[in-house]
Structure 1
Amino acid sequence: MSAPAFPLPRTAVLAASVAALLLVPVPAAADPAATAGDPESPSADSLAASVTSIDPDAAVTGIDPAGSVEELEQEEITGSSTTVTISADVLFAFDEAELTDAAQSTVAELAGRLEGVSGTVQVVGHSDGIGEESYNQDLSERRAEAVKEAIEEELGSGAPEIEAEGRGSDEPIAEETDSEGADIPSARAQNRRVEITFEGG
C-alpha cells in the first residue's frame, strides 16, 4: 500500500524554481573589442570622420557673362566714318557664301542706315585661318559680294556706291591659338566677319 501524496510546502516549490533558473545558461556579454571593426556598428569617431564639410562660397565658380558671350555685331565710329562689324556666323552657314534667311533682317536694318550716305560704302570680308590661304581669300570675297548685293537689292535705286573686297585671313583681330598651340574656337569665330564702312549715317 503506497503512502498518500501530500502537496509540497510553498517554500519548497519556490526553492525548486530558483534552482531551475540557476541551471539555465546565460549568454556571454558581447566583447566590445570584437565589435569594434563591425561595419554595421560604426563608432562615433568613424561617423565624424566620414562627414565632409562643404564651403558653398568655395564650391561655386563665378561666371562672367560678358566674358563668355561673343559679340555678334559691333560698331566703331572714327571721326565721320562708321564701321559696322557683323559676325560671319550670323550671316552665313558654315563654309558658305550665301546669306541665310535669318541674315536678311540684319542686312535690311543695315541698309536703312546706308540710304543717302555720302561717299562709297566699303564691304570687306574676312575669314579665319583654317584651310588654304587661297580658299579663304575666295570665300571672303564671295561673302563680301553677297552682302553688297543684298544691300543693293534692299535699297534699289537709292543704294549708294558700294565696293566689295575680301582679305582672307590676313587681318585677324584675335589670336586663334594659345601659347601651347591649342586651337581657340571663340577667337576663330571673331575673325570670321564682314565689315561695312561708310561716311555719316
Structure 2
Amino acid sequence: MKRRFLAMAAGAACFLLASCSENTKTQEQAALSSPPAQRLPTAPENGPASVEQPADQGQKLTGEVSELSAEASDLGAQMTDLGLMIQFNTDVLFDFDKAEIQPDAQADLEKLARVVQEYAKSKVTIVGHSDAKGDAAYNRALSERRAQAIADWLQRHGVSSTQKFKVEGLGETKPIAPNTKADGSDSPEGRQQNRRVEIVIS
C-alpha cells in the first residue's frame, strides 16, 4: 500500500510539473507574438519647442519694402524685380532734342537725390529711353546723354562720388506704349510715354 501511495504521489507531481511547463511556454509564445508597446511622447519640460527663426537680415531692395520715404512716394517709386524704380518723363526734364536739365526739374531731382542718399550702399542704374521718331542711332545717343546728365546732376548735388552709377541709353528699343495707332498713324500719347528716364536703385 505504501508503494501505491508513493506511485500516486509521483504521478501527481509529474502532472503538476507538466502543467507549469505548458503554462510557461504559452506565456512566452504570447509575449513573442504581441507587438512591442509604443512609447508615448512626453511633453517637453519647458513648454513646446519653438521653430528657429532666421536672423533678421535687414531690409533688402530686391525684396519688399514695407514703407517708402515721402520723397520716393512723391516721385511714384515702385518696387520691381530689378529694385526700386523711379521714372521721369523726359519732356519734364529736358527741352526737345536737348540733354540739358531744365530749371523746372530741379525740385524733383532734389527729391531723387535724397532717395538715392537713403541707399548710399546700393547701385544706381540710370536708363534713358526715346520714342521711335527719327534715326534710331541718334535716339540711342540722345537717350544716353540724358541719362548721363541726371547722373552728373546727382553727383553735383550731394550724392556721394563713391556710389556706384551705371548709365545706359536704349533709345527706342524698349517702348512701354505703341508709337503708332492701330491704323498705322502716329500716336503722340504713346511716343510721349516712351520718352522717359528710369532710375533703378538695387
TM-score (norm 1): 0.59
Q: Indicate the residue corresponding to 1:100 in structure 2.
A: 102
Q: Percent identity?
A: 38
Q: 1 CA distance for matches of 2:123 and 2:172? A: 24
Q: Tell me the distance in 1 between the aligned counterparts of 2:151 and 2:185.
A: 35
> One-letter code of the match for 1:162?
F
Q: Which residue of the partner structure matches residue 82 of structure 1?
A: 84
Q: Aligned equivalents of 2:162 and 2:116: distance in 1?
A: 7
Pairs within 5 Å for 1:25-174? 74-78=76-80, 81-117=83-119, 118-157=121-160, 160-174=163-177
How far the C-alpha of 1:152 sits from its partner, in A, is 0.7
Q: Could you tell me whether the CA contact under 8 Å between 2:85 and 2:200 is conserved in 1? A: yes
Given the alignment of the two structures, is residue 177 of structure 1 paired with residue 189 of structure 2, yes or no?
no
Asked whether the 8 Å contact 2:140–2:172 carries over to 1, the reply is yes
The 1:171–1:119 alpha-carbon spacing in structure 2 relative to 1, beyond 3 Å, is: same
Contact 1:139/1:168, CA 8 A, preserved across alignment: yes
Give the root-mean-square deviation of aligned CA atoms.
Answer: 1.7
Q: Which runs of 5+ in 1 are unaligned?
A: 1-72
Separation (CA, whole Å) in 2 of partners of 1:169 and 1:178: 16
The Cα of 1:89 is off from its aligned counterpart by 0.6
State the shift of 1:158 in Å.
Answer: 6.3
Q: Distance in 2 between matches of 1:156 and 1:83?
A: 17
Contact 1:116 1:158 (8 Å CA) reproduced? no
Secondary structure in structure 1 of the residue aligned to 2:178? coil
Once the two structures are overlaid, the 10-residue window that deviates more, 79-88 or 137-146, is: 79-88
1:158-201 CA-to-partner distances (Å, cap 9, x unmatched) read: 662211110010000000111111111011000000000003xx
- What residue identity is the alignment partner of 1:154? H
Structure 2 CA distance, aligned partners of 1:188 and 1:156?
31
> Partners of 1:122 and 1:193 in 2: how far apart?
14
TM-score when scaled to structure 2? 0.59
Q: Equivalents in 1 of 2:78, 2:160: separation in Å?
A: 27
Cα deviation for residue 75 of structure 1 reads 2.6
Separation in 2, partners of 1:156, 1:84: 16
Amino acid at match of 1:124: V
Structure 2 unaligned regions, length at least 5: 1-74
Deviations 1:42-80 (A, max 9, x none): xxxxxxxxxxxxxxxxxxxxxxxxxxxxxxx64321268
- Aligned partners of 1:122, 1:130: CA distance in 2, in Å? 25
Q: Identify the residue that residue 9 of structure 1 maps to in structure 2.
A: none
Counterpart contact for 2:113–2:159, Cα < 8 Å: no
SS in 2 for 1:119: coil
Provide the residue aligned with 1:22 in structure 2.
none
